[in-house]
Copies of this chain bind each other. A is one copy, B any other.
Amino acid sequence: MPADRSQGGRPTISEVAAEAGVGRATAARTLGGYGYVSPELRERVLAAAEKLGYRTNALARSMSTGVSHTLGVILADIGNPFFAGVMRGISDASRARGFDTIVLSTYERLDEEVAATDVLIDKRVDGVIIASAAVGRDEVKHIRAAMGRGIPIVLVDRAVTPLDLDTVVIDNRGAAREAVEVMISAGHRRIGFVWGPSSVSTPVTRRALLETARNVWTDGERLRGYLDALDDARIPLDPELVMTGPKTEEWATQEVARMLALPDRVTALFCTETDAVTGALRAVRAAGLSCPRDISLIGFDDSAWAAVMEPPLTMIEQPVRQLGAKAAEVLLDVLDGGEPRHEVHTLSSRLITRASVAPPGKGTFYSQQSKP
C-alpha cells in the first residue's frame, strides 16, 4: 500500500527520514511520539520535518504506523464519582504522554463489557484499561480475544483471577478488615455489611456469600476483610447482617432498616460504597437513631461531604486518581516497548478517623419498626 507516497506536496515519513539521514523506523518513532529515539537522532528528524513542512495527521499516522495514540477505557460507570476520579487519573497520565482516551461505561453488565471491547478493537486503540465485571473463567473470553490480537491490557480497580495481567488495585480486603477492627475495638459485635453480593444461593452461608456467582472483585474482597476481622475476634457470621440484593441506595436503606428492626439489632455499619453510606444514613435517621450514639458507621469512599457531615464520618480514602494514573503508566510503558510484567500493583488506601465510631449505646434499645 503506497501509504508513504507524497500526495499533494505533503511530505512523507520516508522523505523526512531521507532528509534527516536516518532510517524510516526512527523517523516514524520520532514523529509518532512513541518508542525510544536518541536525543541526537530525534533532533535531526525534527529539524528535517520542520524544513520539509511535515505535519502529522493522527489518522494517516495510525494507518501507516499502526499506532493510533489512543487508549480505550472500559469502566462500570463514568457518572460515578469514583470512576470519574479514576478516569481523570487515566486521562491526565495519558495526555502527558501524547495519548487520548476513548471511554465506555458498562454499568456492571458483562454483555456491555464484551461489546465495549469489540468497539475498542474495531477502533484500533493501542491498549485497553478495564475495570472488569468479569469473575469466572467463562467470563473472560472477550479479554483473551483482545489479548490474542496483541492489544496490551491493564486491569484497574478489580483483579480478574483467571487472567495473568498487570493489575492496579488497592488492598480492599485489608482496608475493610482495618475498618471493621476499629468498630470491634470500640466494642461492637453486631456489625452490618452494606452492601454484599447482588445474588446468593440459599441457605445464606459464609461459603455461599463468598462463592456467589455475580460479585465484582472489590465487593468480594471487602466481604473477605469483614469476615477476617470477625474471625479474629471470634465473632460468628450472622448472614442476617449482610445485605444482599440490588446495589442501590434505596435497597441499602431498606436493608439497614431491616437490620435495625432485628431483636438483636446492629450497632455498627460497614458500608462499601458511597451510595451504601447515604442509604444507610437515611435508614438510621428514619429509625430516629443517631450516629455515633446509637449506630457507628465507617464507609468507602471519602469525599468532601463526609468531612462536613454531623458527625464527620470516619471513611476509607482510596487514591482514586493515582489508580487511574498508575494503570495508564503501566500500559504506556508496555506500548513504549517494555515487557508486560503481569504484576499486581497495590496502592495504599487510608482510614481517615473522624467521629462516626463510638462504643455501642449503653441505654435500653427499643426494637422499632422503621419507615425508610
Interface of A with B (CB < 8 Å)? 56-59, 62-63, 68, 70, 77-81, 83-85, 87-89, 91-92, 95, 100-105, 119, 122-124, 249, 274-275, 278-279, 281-282, 285, 303-310, 320-321
Contacts and interface: CB of A to CB of B under 8 A. Distances in A.
Contacts of A89: 79
Contacts of A320: 79
A282 B308 contact: yes
18 contacts: A58-B119, A58-B124, A59-B59, A59-B68, A59-B123, A63-B63, A78-B88, A78-B91, A79-B87, A84-B87, A91-B103, A102-B102, A274-B304, A278-B304, A278-B307, A281-B308, A282-B308, A305-B309
The 3 A-B residue pairs with the shortest CB-CB distance in the complex, in nearest-first order: A79-B88, A84-B84, A305-B305
Contacts of A87: 78-79, 84, 103
B56 A122 contact: yes
A63 B275 CA distance: 44
Given A102-B100, A103-B103, A124 B59 contact: yes
Prevailing SS type, chain A contact patch: helix
A92 B103 CA distance: 11
Contacts of A62: 59
Contact of A309 (B58, B79, B101, B309): B309
A322 to B, nearest CB: 12
A304 B249 contact: yes
Interface centre among A77, A85, A305, A321 (most CB of B within 10 A): A305
Nearest to A285: B308
A290 B43 CA distance: 62
Contact of A100 (B59, B104, B310): B104
